Structure 1
Amino acid sequence: MDPQLPAWRIAPEDDVAVALKPLETGETCLGVALRQPIPAGHKFALNALAEGSEVRRYRAPIGIATRPIAPGEHVHGHNLRTALSGELAYRFAAVAKATPVRDKGHRFDGYVRADGGVGTRNELWILPTVGCVGRLGERLAREAERRAGEALASGAIDGVHAFNHPFGCSQLGADLDGTAAVLAALAQNPNAGGVLLLGLGCESNQIDALMARIPADRHARIRAVRAQSEHDEFEAGLRAIGDLLAAMARDRRQPVPLSALRLGVKCGGSDAMSGLTANPLIGRMADAVTQAGGSAILTEIPEMFGAEKLLLERCENEDVFDRLTAMVNGFKRYFLAHGEPVSENPSPGNIAGGITTLEEKSLGAVQKGGVATVADVIGYGERTTRGGLTILEAPGNDAVSTTALAAAGATVTLFSTGRGTPLGSPVPTVKIASNAALATAKRNWIDFDAGTVLTDGIDAASDALLARIVAIASGERTRNETNDERAIGIWKRGVTL
């Protein structure tokens, strides 16, 4: 991409280009004279488009023209609408082979766990089974950090964190099962060198049932406290934490190959530049990790609507294909059953940044999966078990999807953003700005400027980002960690009693 160009068209088949900077009426860009000012990140027409015709970007339709559009005219919500409606039928075809990515032999210093997983952090996590003891967990974390000051200062332990949430009781059936599944999966994340399951005692989400979901080889690093069963629940919690911290203090980082990395990929607060810079760059990282034998996890199923065929074409076999089509159509039914259109996206911030339809947002978003073969499809609260690209069931909500990624086993999450957000998940959450202006304005939020794709090229940006990921996986702190921005969000899908 030439940084001197005022606008960029991704492919010759595209009907629109994106302004790389604010453009004025009368300017000539890519052979057309602009009919009105075009804000940075917004689209203008390159061809005459008839009312009702498909409008293409990313070599694919991003919507339908609602009136005639002349070359040089601003293309946005006033003249472009979604074509999405409901479920679709799909047909399996031979998998498209991924383009090989050169493995440069990158290694990082990680914590090898008893079950074979490798953590990028050695932290103690306090997971409440129910919201009633969430604040108790936070108080325990503060006191445990004070008592573990020397171990934290020396780097033997990376932190003590409590993850409060309002669920675990007054839930039924699949809704309660989802809460239990995601908490049990979080307890198995390799970044948690120790876990305290903190219960109340009378809640629906019982500790014994949670422990039964967790393989026995993880139990040595898990303790459980039921507040109603203790004379002093705070002291009982501190005793359990003390046992865990003593064991964790013996853990040491050791060199491991890039194949040991489990990489979550996510976008939030996207703009039209996200699909040009940050998301393709993240896709390069997913390719680097999966080609090395590691795992990348892509979620946000509603932000695949309109672009799902790009992933379906890369499914490893017909079983994976069938499970992905069922997941995509099942999510569409979830919207329709609640009386909501499947296209009720993008957000106001996305629209202000230049994204018009869900198809456009999705086509940019799925680039985070690179060109890797889709090796597996897993449900919410399930853990990834395979190398390659895994598709994970979860909504687009930032807190819910980043939590689902951590529960699935991600030990680092790459999070692209065009508008910015301070949000962090339980694992290092690497904020990648789609544009230099955001990276400059919010240095306290942003870890990497993908705007360098425009100035230095994607190869140089890829090398720089991969080196940064290796450093973060080896212990370098992300902005969300230095800002103490860590939280979980649980997907609530049922009635509340």
Structure 2
Amino acid sequence: MADPNPARAVRVDRDDDVALLLDPVAAGGAVRFDDATVVAREDIAQGHKIAVRAVAAGAPVRRYRAAFGVATRDIAAGEHVHVHNVRTALSGEDAYRYVPALPPQAERRAEPGFAGYVRADGSVGTRNEIWVLPTVGCVGRLGERIAGLAGPRHTGRVDGVHAFNHPFGCSQLGDDLNRTGAILAALACNPNAGGVVLLGLGCESNQLDAMLARLPADVLARVRTVRAQASADEFAEAMAAVDELAEAATAKRVPVPLSALRLGVKCGGSDSMSGLTANPLIGRMTDRVAAAGGTVLMTEIPEIFGAERLLMARCADEAVFDRLVEVTNRFKRYFLDHGEPVSENPSPGNIAGGITTLEEKSLGAVQKGGVATVTDVLDYGEPVRKAGLSVVDGPGNDAVSTTALAAAGATITLFSTGRGTPLGSPVPTMKIATNRDLATRKGGWIDFDASIALDEGQDAAADALLARIVAVASGEPARNEANEERAIGIWKSGVTL
């Protein structure tokens, strides 16, 4: 007799070899997927994969319409499919060929705008804050003390005063030092910073004058500097600089179209639901913002390995394709030069959540880019240049990648997560939960529950998420802001003296 209460599972495509369990199942239990059932041969946890057909040893195993690994032994229908019977097929650098498969241009639709701060260069901030950026870690704590006292002093005048401490800026050489200077200068250009105090020590490698030389004239107008070693009272001087900026930061929110939004997209603490709920939903935001003429930024280059061809096929032209190939293979070489395999991912938390290989993680992760055309590829610390979807060079580390997005110009970031994290970046960092359990348990961290897409459909979920984005862009605090979770991480790639 048929099981009256089979466990539910979802298969993305009928050619896929696995389905994802929405409910846990015990050995012998029935699992319903599409219009068929399979009997579980063992206990399998919710969010993990069950084989819906037999797979021979050495054959590719498919999910998301693509191979996410190779079977290490024969897998029978009903078996748990995970790290014990599937391995990665990734090795090293690849040769790529530009075979464009540009999707049809998304139809423009009437989209809601938001209330933002228009800057002199035409960019639009979702916040009007004063940022204290130390050139070197030696004055990082000083910056935090300044922001801690100045913030309450200017409540109501600006949206906040925040310092972004970091341990770098000295004892660095070459490209490593250049990256630190570039990322800090790029942060100073973010439209959410209505004023910036560059706080230097004096003897550091990351010299203040070199950072100032990186800034355009319109940004320099809202920058003040303090050189601690040359000041009789660096704290009082910095407080006076914040006071002056707060007096000058008189911008008011005005209605702007969605095309003014610069949206960062990112995932962290992923589980196997990430590619089924939150990331496709974020992909819809990418498509709607890009279709409206706005800007979307995505990064985490090591977390596109195995799915990079999907993005390469959507590059606007061969020059953009060549840049994406360069960044992808350069990052693979970075791993190999340090004696590490390019497949050194997923993390222990990802594996516990049901992700088996880096290819599976990547196939889920790239869905944050929707089907938008890739219009540009940016180096780490390079500001955004074009509307549409830009890929930013940078690692997957949560703090480093969210900082890279803010430095490129993102004014709000969507961060999908299946495991949960309180982390925030300099800009509003909205956490999109992949599953209802996380959204319920960690409501203090989560801004939106993407699991509603399974019940209400992607269209309704997309409309609801866009409404939340518009509210946060217009001033409603994201959870990271309410929790005072703001930090930066800088990508260190060289020696320390």
Whether TM exceeds 0.5 here: the answer is yes
TM superposition shift of 1:33? 1.1
Could you say what secondary structure the match of 1:161 adopts?
Answer: strand
Match of 1:26 in 2: 28
What percent identity do the matched residue pairs reach?
A: 68
Distance (Å, rounded) in 2 between the aligned partners of 1:355 and 1:174:
34
1:265 to 2:271 alignment: no
* 1:374-453 aligned within 5 A: 374-453=374-453
Match of 1:9 in 2: 11
Q: Which amino acid aligns with 1:294?
A: G
Could you say what secondary structure the match of 1:115 adopts?
Answer: coil
Native 8 Å contact 2:16 2:63 kept in 1: yes
Match of 1:48 in 2: 54
Match of 2:71 in 1: 65
Could you say what secondary structure the match of 1:410 adopts?
Answer: coil
Deviation track 1:338-384 (CA, whole Å, cap 9, x = no partner) reads: 00000010000000000000000000000000000000001000011
Distance (Å, rounded) in 2 between the aligned partners of 1:224 and 1:65:
58
Native 8 Å contact 2:100 2:312 kept in 1: no
Match of 1:209 in 2: 210
Native 8 Å contact 1:131 1:164 kept in 2: yes
Native 8 Å contact 2:190 2:406 kept in 1: yes
Match of 1:242 in 2: 243
Q: Which amino acid aligns with 2:27?
A: T
Q: Which amino acid aligns with 1:353?
A: G
The runs of 5 or more residues in structure 2 that have no matched partner are: 1-5
TM superposition shift of 1:55? 0.2
Native 8 Å contact 1:279 1:367 kept in 2: yes
Native 8 Å contact 1:101 1:288 kept in 2: no
Distance (Å, rounded) in 1 between the aligned partners of 2:487 and 2:146:
16
Q: Which amino acid aligns with 1:50?
A: A
Native 8 Å contact 2:71 2:85 kept in 1: yes
The runs of 5 or more residues in structure 1 that have no matched partner are: none
Distance (Å, rounded) in 2 between the aligned partners of 1:113 and 1:165:
27
Distance (Å, rounded) in 2 between the aligned partners of 1:9 and 1:379:
37
Distance (Å, rounded) in 2 between the aligned partners of 1:309 and 1:297:
18
Distance (Å, rounded) in 2 between the aligned partners of 1:440 and 1:473:
24
Q: Which amino acid aligns with 2:429?
A: T
Could you say what secondary structure the match of 1:404 adopts?
Answer: helix
Deviation track 1:199-252 (CA, whole Å, cap 9, x = no partner) reads: 00111111111011000111111000000010000011011111100011x210
Native 8 Å contact 1:95 1:316 kept in 2: no
TM superposition shift of 1:328? 0.6
* Pick aligned residue for 1:124 from 130, 133, 155: 130
Q: Which amino acid aligns with 2:405?
A: L
Native 8 Å contact 1:64 1:83 kept in 2: yes
TM superposition shift of 1:100? 1.4
Match of 2:3 in 1: none
* Pick aligned residue for 1:147 from 146, 153, 158: 153
Q: Which amino acid aligns with 2:300?
A: E
Deviation track 1:421-450 (CA, whole Å, cap 9, x = no partner) reads: 000000000000000110000000000000
* Equivalent residue pairs, number: 489
* 1:252-401 aligned within 5 A: 252-401=252-401
Match of 1:200 in 2: 201
Could you say what secondary structure the match of 1:279 adopts?
Answer: helix
Native 8 Å contact 2:7 2:29 kept in 1: no
User: Aligned-residue CA RMSD in angstroms?
Assistant: 1.2
Native 8 Å contact 2:7 2:25 kept in 1: no
Distance (Å, rounded) in 2 between the aligned partners of 1:159 and 1:385:
27
Distance (Å, rounded) in 1 between the aligned partners of 2:318 and 2:141:
47
Distance (Å, rounded) in 1 between the aligned partners of 2:7 and 2:78:
16
Distance (Å, rounded) in 1 between the aligned partners of 2:105 and 2:49:
30
Distance (Å, rounded) in 1 between the aligned partners of 2:140 and 2:285:
36
Match of 1:76 in 2: 82
Distance (Å, rounded) in 2 between the aligned partners of 1:363 and 1:455:
23
* Pick aligned residue for 2:42 from 22, 36, 41: 36
Native 8 Å contact 1:264 1:298 kept in 2: yes
TM superposition shift of 1:101? 4.6
Native 8 Å contact 1:98 1:373 kept in 2: no
Distance (Å, rounded) in 1 between the aligned partners of 2:104 and 2:27:
42
TM superposition shift of 1:157? 1.1
TM superposition shift of 1:102? 4.7
Match of 1:466 in 2: 466
Q: Which amino acid aligns with 2:110?
A: K
What is the TM-score normalised by the length of structure 1?
0.97
Match of 1:112 in 2: 118
TM superposition shift of 1:98? 4.0
Could you say what secondary structure the match of 1:13 adopts?
Answer: coil
Deviation track 1:446-475 (CA, whole Å, cap 9, x = no partner) reads: 000001011111110000000110010000
Native 8 Å contact 2:202 2:229 kept in 1: yes
Native 8 Å contact 2:131 2:193 kept in 1: yes
